[in-house]
Amino acid sequence: MCGICGVIEKKADNRQLVGEMCRLLAHRGPDNAAVYRSGDVCLGHRRLSIIDLATGDQPIFNADKSVAIVYNGEIYNYRELREELRKRGAAFQTNSDTEVILKLYETDGAPAFARLNGIFAFAILDRRNGQSRLVLARDHFGVKPLHYYRKDDLFLFASEYKALLLHPAVERRLNPQALHHQVNLRYNQTDETLIKDIFRLPPAHFMIIEDGAIQTIERYYQLVPEIDYKKSEAEWLEEIPFYLRQAVKRQLVADVPIGVYLSGGMDSGSIVAMMRDVGVEQVNTFTLGFNEPTDEIDDAQITADYYRTNHHVLRMDMNPMRRMPEVIWHAEEPKINLLQGFAMSDFVSRHLKVALGGLGGDELFSGYDIHKFVLPFNGLHRLIPRWWESTAASAMSGLFYRLQTALLPMKFDEYRRGLQMALASGNIAKFYLILRNVWDFDRAYLQKIYAPQFLQHQLTPVADAFAPLFEKHDGQTPLDRVYFAEFGSKMLNDYLLVEDRMSMSHSLEERVPFLDLDLVQFGFSIPARMKMIGGETKGLLRKAMAPWLPEKILKKKKWGFTFNPYLQFQKDLKATAERILTRRRIERDGIFNYSYIRGILDAPPHPRMRWHYNFIWVLTGFYIWKKMFLESEGFKQRNFDMKDFYG
């Protein structure tokens, strides 16, 4: 993995600026740094050496240096593509996957990016035929990030947007719509960021910039689920290990050792099993514990013992919130699931440079508890007409909201949300979003959460960003549509963002075998009714992996690589929030309603207030972010004292 950045600015020599941008991205690539200028374009690169350690430094050029590339990622099928291109007449100067991308572009143009099976974000400077063209691209499923800024004659791009803020023309202003997403979802579903005018290039897209102006942003690949209802269970059980083995084998490509993030679940255990199956003799595995009853350390040890791995265990300290400023600096967003990934990557990076993780298995094989809530309503959604949900059911839903918030304590919110979810039957998008705790369907809730000044912004409902994900596959079952929506929303903008930022915070490359291009397309061909055999999450995967995994792991209930918010609130979340979310700060900023925050902090702790504690977690992170990125020059540094962020 690496960090990339660049500037297009007429009649400007930005080598010094790009050098500073590279220094700000040094954690993404500590092994080498380079700055390259050609005319009005300046490119920067930070390298983490994984493939072709000797000749893989960047930029890499074509023969006459009319085309150059800076690149972040790994291409797992680069050897096959290299051989094909060589037979077609291409000559290679290095053994790197980077040069394969360059030659593929030279030969077949930007649409050929669809043929790359890997994780990537790159910039290609093309000066052939007297033109000046910059081509940016991001991988199929958004594993690697790429941000950009465009105004007047200035264009900037970088792996992390903190590097863009170094240019004096970039104004650091809050984006209210992105914040509204962050508060509702705990992530941002738009292509915008929390800073106005800074955007994210969508996955599976390339962008072409000519003379500093964006000419086009085009999709080069579209995941289209083609569900196969004809295959038997026996056929699926035979094919699952084949595609998983193939994916793992592909992602073992490296010139350095590779390890595995091992939880106590099936996904990471399956990766270990397939590594041994393809001949890896010594597997390094790593597990993290939270000092909570749901810790998976003992379960992970079962898999480690079963495959005799070289196993390492880390336990979180009891007060992890003290590291929040550092993780917010890396994530560039306030999130609830950062601290564990940050600690884990720190631990793993002391041993090796590359680790495989199990992200994507739940999305492909139906591993989340919410899928069990959707399944019983699968037929009901088709029977209830949409007009009923949007009229009578919606009115009853609003009534439940008013009654509960007026008469009952916060801990009853969960029951009310359950009733509202049931009343959303017939509208799978709304049903799903309520299940994911989105609250802005009750527009009166905005007045409880936000200050009157902030409500002057015209906030678009969160559901609007999800409509395209659900509408594209209207003919499929509701549960199949939920799988697709989750894949293009929470996995992309929550889990993958965390995986990239927290692993790269310690110069660790994390690969995700379950997001192998062929495995994803295969996974989305399995009908929902097959994935949840007997109503059990991952029912089909459990049967497929039975020959490879210990029985206890196959029967284990999923918990997830996360803190328990109820327990964390009592450890150090409440104490930290009390110091940061002060009345003085909240009322001065005019964004949130302090009385609502105070109500959560003063309520007796209760397990059914998980959403409220997550809300407090996001707000605590937001005010750290706000001071760091908007109100000071803190984004330019790496080391922080939590006391500097107290209100």
d(CA 634, CA 638): 8
Asked whether the whole model's pTM tops 0.85, one would answer yes
Q: Where are the alpha helices (DSSP H) in 454-505?
A: 463-471, 478-487, 490, 496-504
What CA–CA distance (Å, rounded) separates 207 from 93? 27
* 346, 506 Cβ separation under 8 angstroms: yes
575 vs 264: which has the higher pLDDT: 575
Residue 321 pLDDT class (50, 70, 90 cuts): confident
| Mean pLDDT of the chain, nearest integer | 92
> Distance between CA atoms of 587 and 576, rounded to whole angstroms?
18
Distances from the Cα of 5 to the Cα of 18, 19, 102, 152, 164, angstroms: 7, 10, 17, 19, 8
Q: Any idea how long the chain is?
A: 647
Residue 317 has pLDDT above 60, yes or no: yes
Looking at residue 136, its pLDDT comes to 98
Confidence (pLDDT) at 404 = 86
Q: Average of pLDDT values for 280-307? A: 87
> Rounded mean pLDDT of 326-340?
94
Pairwise CA distance, residues 503 & 259, whole Å:
13
Q: Is the pLDDT of residue 562 over 80?
A: no
**Across residues 104-109, what is the average pLDDT?**
96
Give the tens place of pLDDT for each residue, 463-520: 999 999 998 766 788 899 999 999 999 999 999 999 999 999 999 999 999 999 999 9
d(CA 188, CA 178): 6
Strand partners, 200: 147
| Averaged pLDDT, 71-80 | 94
- Give the chain's end-to-end CA distance (angstroms, integer): 37
* Residue closest to 152 by CA, chosen among 50, 11, 307: 11
Tell me what the mean pLDDT of segment 242-249 comes to.
97
Map out the domains of the chain with their CATH numbers.
2-172+198-219 (3.60.20.10), 233-283+295-312+331-367+488-555 (3.40.50.620), 379-476 (no CATH), 565-645 (no CATH)
